[in-house]
Amino acid sequence: MEDNPLFKDFDTPFGVPVFDRIENRHYLPAFEKGIELHDREIESIAGDTRSPEFENTIAALDRSGEFLDRVSNVFFGLLSANTNDEMQQIAKKVAPALSKHRDDILLNRSLFERVKAIYAKRGELDLTPEQKTLLRETYQDFVRGGADLDRDARKRLREINKRLSVLELEFREHVLKENNRFELVIENKEDLAGLPERVVAGAAKAAKDRGREGAWVFTLHKPSLIPFLQFSKRRELRRKMFEAYITKGDHNDDLDNKNILKEIIQLRIEKAELLGYRNYAGFKLARRMAKTPKNVYELLDRIWEKALPAARREAEQLQELVHKEGHDFVLEPWDWWYYAEKLRKRLYDLDENELRPYFELENVLHGVFDLANRLYGIRFVERHDLPKYNEDVRTFEVKDKDGSLLGVFYVDYFPRPSKSGGAWCGNYREEYKVGGRRIVPVVVNVGNFSMPTDDKPALLSFEEVRTLFHEFGHALHALFEDTVYKGSAENIDVDFVELPSQFMENWAAEPQVLKMYARHYKTGEPMPDALIAKIENSRHFNQGFETVEYMAACFLDMDWHMLEKPTDMDVRAFDKASMKKIGLIPQIAVRYHSTYFEHIFSGDFYAAGYYSYIWSQVLDADAFAAFKEAGLFNPEVAESFRTNVLSQGGAEDPMSLFVRFRGREPRIEPLLKRKGMLGTGK
């Protein structure tokens, strides 16, 4: 494979991937070679005749697999951001091979004996905090990977892991295809009533791109779906769009996900039992900040008892508005966005169309860059000489405050059929050190934001602005990482990993920050003080809805993973029972129905972990309060946050990192205050 660019070091600035030279045919041979090379490294570590020590075993394990990591980072990054049918077929071949490879490592008895011997004498070793963490996490990887099981149990665990690797891929593939399959085609101009000009223009462009010139096409991608639900006067069309969204993967056809997710749950239950846990939630949470399902439910219940009454009051206000308009129907979930937008206009004289002209994507992007510069002294310099995987992608060199190279940053913000829905942050290379030399990270932010039209640049909703800030927070976490071992980036608790991202969201609506980036796309004038005041006055608006529809998904996730016995459950009935148990009001639908709940079924990082966003909100609200107390741009507080939180990855216990920054454990009051729920309840 002399022509396979994955077999060679990338001869590019900063060693970024050679996206322009990689073809689909290159992946399988590269994966095979990567597994072969890693197997040899593992054999060498396991067969080392020297006494097991941290350096020749734990550190050696962490260093191993570099070739395979490089191939995996590129392939799986593009599988989400720029996929095609051939890549999805490759993934189905690769996933079980990688599952077997991981099991071969974790079930290697000779290797485990070396790890166990070092762990047993950990109290006698002179290790740094990061090394202690890596040792503990490596030992836990083996134990939780089945190293202590008997032969039959290890064999069954291999089968479970192999099957799960394929099922989780199929689940995601189905959701992607469902997102792309649905189209609401409008041919009668009267059916566009209420829709802003920019939304109509976007639908016309979508129709033209699909060979339906003269019509208007709306899709389930958020930049199309949400504005339609917010502004369309055609209630039956709103219902059609909404129901298409909440029934993805639930049509009893070739893209149906019900049987897939049932098998995933059954296999996870069996896996948890094999490893000595009552349920999969207990298995996953044992390695997170929350520690136990009881702790998760206690936090969820505490916030739910504040949020649900707030949502009920909001529903009553919206129903009253329906009646004031002369209608007698009962408010339904597909009505919420529409009447909430109207109510916000009435209460605060504020609507989204007034805000969008000030949120041109280019200005927002440079706004977060300027904010990062003001807080941390770093700079983003756009590069036009780096390979890209799609023409929409932009690339930046990131320079630290002393001018040294901090990392490389890619952004990819517009929806397309080859991209999964939602927004995320990924790594094409994570930070670590080799012989004291820092390997700089290559980080990407991916989104599905409002696109430019023929006569307007990309103008974002405020929710999209918050999402951009959120993912940029993840990016800063990855860029600032300053740890020795690769495992430090991989060992970040799921309920801590959302702290840096949600922390960044706080800045988006701060008046001082809005002045930095919110400028009218035509005139360049900053957002007027009066409009900023409207945003500030409406900051608690619709918080009941936003909190409840999210938290309902947290309860649904936990309920699935608290199951202790595999049963042939009815997925629709399970969802309904889960929502009935918490008293979800009928005017609000859970954010994700199970059949398209990708966070928990297209992989298991967020399995029994969707609660992590609200857990991290407690942390981020309290962390941001430190800036509010000391001054938004206080350099000492910013440096402390960078040093104690952002740069450490998973090198130490996350609560210890937070306490080191804040001086105490987090309090829930700043979050309740931010949501306008402090002192409220049933």
Nearest to 132 by CA among 54, 48, 198: 54
Give 265-297 as a DSSP string.
HHHHHHHHHHTT-SSHHHHHHTTSSS-SHHHHH
Residues 6+ apart with CB under 8 A from 247: 593, 595
Query: Could you tell me if 316 and 339 are in contact, meaning their C-beta atoms sit under 8 angstroms apart?
Result: no
Residue 428 has pLDDT above 80, yes or no: yes
In which band, very low, low, confident or very high, does the pLDDT at 1 lie, cut at 50, 70 and 90? low
Residue 682 has pLDDT above 50, yes or no: no
Residue 679 has pLDDT above 70, yes or no: no
* 252: number of Cβ within 10 Å: 8
Show the beta-strand stretches assigned E in 39-145.
none
**Which own/partner contact pairs does 621-625 have at CB distance under 8 Å and 24+ positions apart?**
621/506, 621/670, 621/671, 621/673, 621/674, 622/662, 622/666, 622/667, 622/670, 622/671, 623/499, 623/503, 623/658, 623/661, 623/662, 623/666, 624/503, 624/506, 624/670, 625/670
pLDDT tens digits, one per residue of 145-186:
999 999 999 999 999 999 999 999 999 999 999 999 999 999
Q: Is 527 exposed, middle or buried (0-12, 13-18, 19+ CB in 10 A)?
A: buried
* pLDDT given at position 268: 98
Mean pLDDT of 300-311: 97
Residue 681 has pLDDT above 90, yes or no: no
* pLDDT given at position 210: 93
Tell me the Ramachandran region of residue 351: left when phi exceeds 0, alpha when psi lies from -120 to 50, beta otherwise: beta
Amino acid at 216: W
β pairing state of 442-446 and 424-429: antiparallel
Nearest to 441 by CA among 403, 468, 474, 392: 474
Residues 6+ apart with CB under 8 A from 451: 202, 205, 223, 414, 415, 458
Core vs surface per residue 313-347: b (16+ CB within 10 A) or e: ebbeebbebbeeeeeeeebebbbbbbbbbbbbeee
User: How far, in Å, CA of 90 to CA of 77, rounded?
Assistant: 14
Give 528-543 as a DSSP string.
PHHHHHHHHHTTTTTH
* pLDDT given at position 568: 80
Mean pLDDT of 655-663: 97
pLDDT tens digits, one per residue of 19-62:
999 999 999 999 999 999 999 999 999 999 999 999 999 999 99
Alpha helices in 589-668 (DSSP H): 598-601, 612-630, 635-641, 654-662
pLDDT tens digits, one per residue of 356-371:
999 999 999 999 999 9
User: How far, in Å, CA of 130 to CA of 433, rounded?
Assistant: 13
Distance linking the first and last C-alpha atoms of the chain? 67
pLDDT tens digits, one per residue of 221-273:
999 999 999 999 999 999 999 999 999 999 999 999 999 999 999 999 999 99
The catalytic residues are 471
β pairing state of 379-383 and 424-429: unpaired
Residue 520 has pLDDT above 60, yes or no: yes
In which band, very low, low, confident or very high, does the pLDDT at 680 lie, cut at 50, 70 and 90? low
Question: Which domains, ranges and CATH numbers included, belong to the chain?
Answer: 1-106+108-144 (1.20.1050.40), 182-246 (no CATH), 357-537+612-674 (1.10.1370.40)
Residues 6+ apart with CB under 8 A from 590: 549, 552, 553, 556, 575, 579, 584
Mean pLDDT of 602-625: 97
Output the average pLDDT for the chain: 96
Mean pLDDT of 575-596: 98
pLDDT tens digits, one per residue of 639-649:
999 999 999 99
